[in-house]
């Protein structure tokens, strides 16, 4: 409702006596009324102060009720309009409803007939005001979110630069010490310096991983139809080039096309397949499978499966959280953010992801991509 305690009603009728009678009667039923005898005066009243309801006669000299309603809604889109009409113009009243009127009332009418119609109009008005307020809050939130993302991006870049500078110094000087003083250092001292250098490199890798994770959550989606089958085969071909002599069986089932951000979808498969290649490294007769199945209510479900090291899924409560590792670093390298990036990509496509695994029995990752037309702003994290 408007700020006044009583709902405000603008009554427009070229018959002065009828208009005044309506004003007096409806004021007795809790409405604050303003009466006008033509559309021009009504529009002037609307521009000077807000109203909750417009009750207008359909047939008036000059501006008709339909024309008035259209211009009134242009002034206040949340205004609820009700048309008054005689028996012979019901068709025109229906046309008025198509133009934005909530309802119509047949003349002559009784107060008992008009009050329920006005009550419904007030309910619609309240809902429209609440919806408009919600839309404003959403727009404000989006603006705030975009600003926060810009600030976060600036902070991430700055923090990355500030962290890399001392790391580069540590790596540089430790390398110089090993090179220039190698003959003077004890084996234990050389190992200390090597440990410093390896730790600094590890920290540098973690910074790179954080930057990748940050970008995935903020970049704008570029949705298109993706040939998933060709994309996966391209990823596999590149991974095979890194280990050309490795004995590995690959089973690639035909995959359907999907609507997604091609670069993010490629990153998703790169991460999942890289893990599959890595964790089958010590497996005899290693097997990696990529395919698609269906699940009721989910649509296409893509999966990447391997028979490698696996993990205890019952203990992996935070499997997709950053920096979660379930294998010793000396056995399997990695930053621990690969699955976090995969999950964020799936979430950006309004999908879901889950895993099945057991120690030494391999791992299977399943994911869906759905409802991509209903996007939400990137998350600040």
Contact 62, 38 (CB under 8 A): yes
38 SS3 class: coil
Residue 57 sits in the same domain as residue 158:
no
Predicted confidence at residue 190, as pLDDT, reads 79
User: What is the distance between the alpha carbons of residues 166 and 172, in angstroms, rounded to a whole number?
Assistant: 10
250 SS3 class: strand
Residue 43 forms part of a structural domain: yes
Q: Could you tell me where the beta strands, DSSP code E, fall in the chain? A: 8-12, 32-36, 53-57, 80-85, 101-106, 223-226, 249-252, 258-261, 287-295, 299-306, 353-357, 363-367
Predicted confidence at residue 378, as pLDDT, reads 38
Residues in the chain: 381
Instruction: Summarize the confidence of residues 172-180 as an average pLDDT.
Output: 81
Residue 236 sits in the same domain as residue 309:
yes
Residue 28 forms part of a structural domain: yes
Identify the CATH number of the domain in which residue 347 sits. Answer: 3.30.565.10
82 SS3 class: strand
- With a cut of 50, say whether residue 381 has pLDDT above it: no
369 vs 208, residue with greater confidence:
369
- With a cut of 60, say whether residue 166 has pLDDT above it: yes
| Rounded (to 5) percent helix, strand, coil in the chain | 50, 15, 35
Q: Which of 170-174, 319-323, 332-336, 364-368 has the highest mean predicted lDDT (pLDDT)?
A: 364-368
Residue 259 sits in the same domain as residue 306:
yes
Instruction: Summarize the confidence of residues 27-54 as an average pLDDT.
Output: 93
Q: Which of 104-118, 149-163, 323-337 has the highest mean predicted lDDT (pLDDT)?
A: 104-118
The domain boundary residue, chosen from 218, 253, 283? 218
Predicted confidence at residue 49, as pLDDT, reads 92
Domain count, the chain: 3
Residue 96 sits in the same domain as residue 152:
no
Predicted confidence at residue 123, as pLDDT, reads 92
Residue 159 sits in the same domain as residue 244:
no
- With a cut of 70, say whether residue 299 has pLDDT above it: yes
- With a cut of 80, say whether residue 219 has pLDDT above it: no
Q: What is the pLDDT of residues 81-106, one digit of tens each?
A: 998 887 656 666 677 677 778 887 87
Instruction: Summarize the confidence of residues 199-222 as an average pLDDT.
Output: 72
Predicted confidence at residue 3, as pLDDT, reads 47
Residue 336 sits in the same domain as residue 199:
no
Residue 224 forms part of a structural domain: yes
Identify the CATH number of the domain in which residue 65 sits. Answer: 3.40.50.2300
Percentage, residues of the chain above pLDDT 90: 32
- With a cut of 80, say whether residue 68 has pLDDT above it: yes
Residue 229 sits in the same domain as residue 151:
no
> What is the number of alpha carbons within 13 Å of residue 70 lying toward its C-beta?
8
Residue 129 forms part of a structural domain: no
What dihedral do alpha carbons 328, 315, 345, 237 form, nearest 10°? 50
Identify the CATH number of the domain in which residue 165 sits. Answer: 1.10.287
The domain boundary residue, chosen from 188, 218, 248? 218
Residue 124 forms part of a structural domain: no
Residue 267 sits in the same domain as residue 364:
yes
Residue 345 sits in the same domain as residue 244:
yes
358 vs 38, residue with greater confidence:
38
Instruction: Summarize the confidence of residues 312-339 as an average pLDDT.
Output: 67
Instruction: Summarize the confidence of residues 352-362 as an average pLDDT.
Output: 88
Residue 233 sits in the same domain as residue 320:
yes
Average pLDDT, rounded, for the chain: 82
- With a cut of 70, say whether residue 326 has pLDDT above it: no
Predicted confidence at residue 251, as pLDDT, reads 94
Domain that holds residue 246: 220-381
Predicted confidence at residue 376, as pLDDT, reads 41
Residue 2 forms part of a structural domain: no
Residue 122 forms part of a structural domain: no
The domain boundary residue, chosen from 186, 218, 250? 218
Predicted confidence at residue 370, as pLDDT, reads 76
Residue 65 sits in the same domain as residue 209:
no
Residue 161 sits in the same domain as residue 260:
no
Instruction: Summarize the confidence of residues 173-197 as an average pLDDT.
Output: 81
Predicted confidence at residue 33, as pLDDT, reads 94
Residue 356 forms part of a structural domain: yes
Q: Which band of pLDDT confidence, cut at 50, 70 and 90, is reported for residue 59?
A: confident
Predicted confidence at residue 227, as pLDDT, reads 95
From residue 287, alpha-carbon distances to 18, 84, 180, 242, 309 in Å are: 86, 76, 47, 17, 12
């Amino acid at each position: 409702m408007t700020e006044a305690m009583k709902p405000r009603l603008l009554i427009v009728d070229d018959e002065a006596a009828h208009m005044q009678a309506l004003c007096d009667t409806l004021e007795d039923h809790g409405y604050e009324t303003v009466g006008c005898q033509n559309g021009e005066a009504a529009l002037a009243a609307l521009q000077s102060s807000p109203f909750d309801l417009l009750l207008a006669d359909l047939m008036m000299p000059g501006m008709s009720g339909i024309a008035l309603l259209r211009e009134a809604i242009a002034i206040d889109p949340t205004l609820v309009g009700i048309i008054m009409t005689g028996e012979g113009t019901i068709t025109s009243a229906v046309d008025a409803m198509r133009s934005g009127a909530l309802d119509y009332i047949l003349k002559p009418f009784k107060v008992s007939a008009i009050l329920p119609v006005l009550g419904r109009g007030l309910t619609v008005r309240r809902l429209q005001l609440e919806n408009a307020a919600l839309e404003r809050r959403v727009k404000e939130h989006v603006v705030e979110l975009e600003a926060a993302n810009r600030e976060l991006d600036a902070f991430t870049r700055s923090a990355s630069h500030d962290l890399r500078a001392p790391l580069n110094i540590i790596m540089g000087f430790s390398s110089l010490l090993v090179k220039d003083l190698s003959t003077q250092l004890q084996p234990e001292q050389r190992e200390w310096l090597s440990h410093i250098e390896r730790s600094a490199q590890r920290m540098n890798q973690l910074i790179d991983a954080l930057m990748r994770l940050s970008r995935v959550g903020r970049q704008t989606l570029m949705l298109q139809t993706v040939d998933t089958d060709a994309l996966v085969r391209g990823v596999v071909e590149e991974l095979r080039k890194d280990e050309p002599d490795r004995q590995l069986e690959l089973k690639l089932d035909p995959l359907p096309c999907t609507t997604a951000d091609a670069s993010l979808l490629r990153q998703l498969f790169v991460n999942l397949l890289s893990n599959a290649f890595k964790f089958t490294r010590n497996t005899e007769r290693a097997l990696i499978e990529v395919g698609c199945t269906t699940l009721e209510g989910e649509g296409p479900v893509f999966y990447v499966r391997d028979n490698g090291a696996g993990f205890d899924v019952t203990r992996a409560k935070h499997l997709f959280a950053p920096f979660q590792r379930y294998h010793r670093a000396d056995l399997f390298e990695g930053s621990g953010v690969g699955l976090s990036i995969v999950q964020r990509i799936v979430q950006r496509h309004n999908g879901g992801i889950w895993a099945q695994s057991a120690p030494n029995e391999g791992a299977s990752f399943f994911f869906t991509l759905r409802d991509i037309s209903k996007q939400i702003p990137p998350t600040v994290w």
